[in-house]
Amino acid sequence: MAVVKPFCAVRPQENLASKIAALPYDVYNRKEAKEETEKNPYSFLKIDRPETQFPDDTDMYAPEVYKQARRIFWKMMEDGDFLQDVDPNFYLYELTRNGHVQTGIVACASIDDYLNGVIKKHENTRVEKELDRIRHVDVLEAQTGPIFLAYRANADFKHLMDVKKKDFPIFDFVSEDGIRHRGWMIYESAMIHKIEKTFQAMDSIYIADGHHRAASAIKAGLKRRRENPNYTGREPFNYFLCTLFADEELEILDYNRVVKDLNGYSAEEFLEKIRERFTVSEPGTEAVSPREKGEFGMYLEDRWYKLKIKEEYRATDVVDGLDVALLQNNLLEPVLGIREPAKDPRIDFIGGIRGLGELEKRVQTDCKAAFSMYPTSMAELFAVADAGKLMPPKSTWFEPKLRSGLFIHRI
Q: For residues 347 and 278, is the Cβ–Cβ distance under 8 A?
A: no
Give the pLDDT score at 19.
Answer: 96
Task: State the DSSP code for 48.
Answer: H
Q: How far apart are CA 329 and CA 68, in angstroms?
A: 46
Give the pLDDT score at 190.
Answer: 95
| Strand ranges in 65-222 using DSSP code E only, listed in sequence order | 82-84, 90-97, 100-110, 119-120, 142-143, 147-151, 171-174, 180-186, 205-209
Give the pLDDT score at 122.
Answer: 86
Q: For residues 183 and 18, is the Cβ–Cβ distance under 8 A?
A: no
Give the pLDDT score at 114.
Answer: 93
Q: For residues 243 and 104, is the Cβ–Cβ distance under 8 A?
A: yes
Task: State the DSSP code for 324.
Answer: H
Q: What pairing do the DSSP bridges indicate for beta strands 239-246 and 255-259?
A: unpaired
Give the pLDDT score at 125.
Answer: 74
Q: Smallest Cα–Cα separation from 202: which of 157, 251, 249? A: 157
Give the pLDDT score at 204.
Answer: 94
Backbone angles phi, psi at 287, to 5 degrees: -60, 140
List all residues 6 or more positions away from 261 whose beta carbon is below 8 Å from its beta carbon: 336, 346, 368
Per-residue pLDDT of the chain (411 residues; tens, 9 = 90+): 899 999 999 999 999 999 999 988 887 888 888 988 999 999 999 999 999 898 888 888 899 999 999 999 999 999 999 999 999 999 999 999 999 999 999 999 999 999 999 999 888 777 777 888 889 989 989 998 899 999 999 998 999 999 999 999 999 999 999 999 999 999 999 999 999 999 999 999 999 988 888 888 999 899 999 998 999 989 999 999 999 999 999 989 999 999 999 999 999 999 999 999 999 999 999 999 999 999 999 999 999 999 999 999 999 999 999 999 999 999 999 999 999 988 899 999 998 888 999 999 999 999 999 999 999 999 999 999 999 999 888 899 898 989 999 999 998
Q: Smallest Cα–Cα separation from 128: which of 61, 208, 54? A: 61
Task: Enumerate the β-bridge partners of residue 409.
Answer: 143
- What's at 391, amino acid-wise? M
Give the pLDDT score at 21.
Answer: 95
**116 CA to centre of own chain:** 22
